[in-house]
Amino acid sequence: MLETLNTNSYFSFGFRIDSYIPLPELPPLIEPITNDDHAVQVTSMDLTAHWCSASSSNEYFAVTEHGVLIRVPDTGIFCMSNGNSIIVSPFKGFNEDKIRLYILGTCMGVILLQRRILPLHGSAIAINGKAYAILGESGAGKSTLASILLEKGFQLLSDDLIPLSLSHNDVPVISPSYPQQKMWQETIDRLGMSSDRFQPLFDRETKFAVPVASHFCSQALPLAGIFELVKTEAHTTIIPIQGLVRFQTLLRHTFRNFLLEHMSLQDWHFTTLARFINQIDMNQLQRSSSYFSAHELAALLLNTIPKEE
């Protein structure tokens, strides 16, 4: 059962998260943060009537003047508002692991959009004091490549959902999320690991939560480069991304980008990208699907990054 009596406090994505349900994936809050502008409340209430009254032709989401509603069959209804509130309305027989999965994924992605923080879909790695984002569609191999880089001594900033904000002088900065990767069984096998050590993301799932506390960077870092990971039938290679393709790439890999239009955020999104897109290196890593190329990809990525002085 969900815990509704106690509040659990954490620090992730750059702000305090106070939740009625334990979120053990997140780093606990150590230093008090009293500014409510830097807090998100996760609470529970029945949203059935709210969902029914929302005007939407879509059975999975609705955007109203009060916030964004997401309906997940067999799991629950979630409402995100003002960039500081996530309300959870579980369905009967819900799976608690799936509730947490959506809070830390789709719900937090909406919260970032409401806060005008750009959410990117990918993994972020700390290398030589800078952040590098690995973007790609589901199954492209982002977490596999990130794991190879962690094995080489680098650190994870974020997996799956990357929060990117701009400083006052338009420097893009990535805030850390939490020390965990999501990996498919096939990836775990490829890396010579045993899934017996890891918890499935939820029952009967072949994707696992892989803790990486010893390889986690807990401080925000400036973004220095972006790598788009794509599958190819040809050989593994790397090519620069230039011109308008840069905008198209970041639009494609903005987390839950279908919400931008519904939330009237297209102008904000374009303006945000324009403020930093020419400051950073962008490359496409083309991954051969004919063999396991993660180690080769890691070498290509690292060879494009300026060596530490």
At 249 the pLDDT is 97
What lies within 8 Å, CB to CB, of 175 at 6+ separation is 13, 14, 157, 158, 163, 165, 220
Task: Give the pLDDT confidence score for residue 6 in this predicted structure.
Answer: 66
Whether the CB-CB separation of 160 and 182 falls below 8 Å is answered with yes
- Report which of 80, 205, 214 is spatially closest to residue 150, judged by C-alpha positions: 214
What phi and psi, each to the nearest 5 degrees, are found at residue 26?
-85, 150
Give yes or no: residues 182 and 291 share one domain: yes
Region of residue 263 (left: phi > 0; alpha: psi -120 to 50; beta: else)? alpha
Can you give the pLDDT at residue 229?
Answer: 95
Helix axes 266-276, 245-252, angle to 10 degrees: 120
In a domain, 280, yes or no: yes
Per-residue model confidence (pLDDT) at position 57: 74
Position 204 scores a pLDDT of 59
The confidence score (pLDDT) of residue 35 equals 64
What does the alpha-carbon distance between residue 263 and residue 21 come to, in Å, rounded to a whole number? 27
Residues 167 and 41 both lie in one domain: no
pLDDT tens-digit map of 90-135: 999 898 989 999 999 999 999 999 999 999 999 999 999 999 999 9
- What DSSP state is assigned to residue 104? I
Dig out the tokens for 151 from the structure.
């094995």
CATH of the domain at 293: 3.40.50
Q: Is 210 helix (H, G, I), strand (E, B) or coil?
A: strand
Supply the pLDDT for residue 139.
80
Kindly give the parts of the chain with pLDDT less than 50.
1-4, 309
Among 114, 129, 158, the domain-final residue is: 114
| pLDDT of res. 150 | 95
The separation between CA 137 and the C-alpha centre of its own chain, rounded to angstroms, equals: 12
65 with 148, same domain: the answer is: no
CB 265 within 8 A of CB 256: no
Q: Domain span at residue 229?
A: 118-304
Residue 2 included in any domain = no
Q: Considering the domain boundaries, does residue 1 fall inside one?
A: no
pLDDT value at position 3?
Answer: 44
Burial of 53 (0-12, 13-18, 19+ CB in 10 A): exposed
The residue among 114, 149, 181 that closes a domain is 114
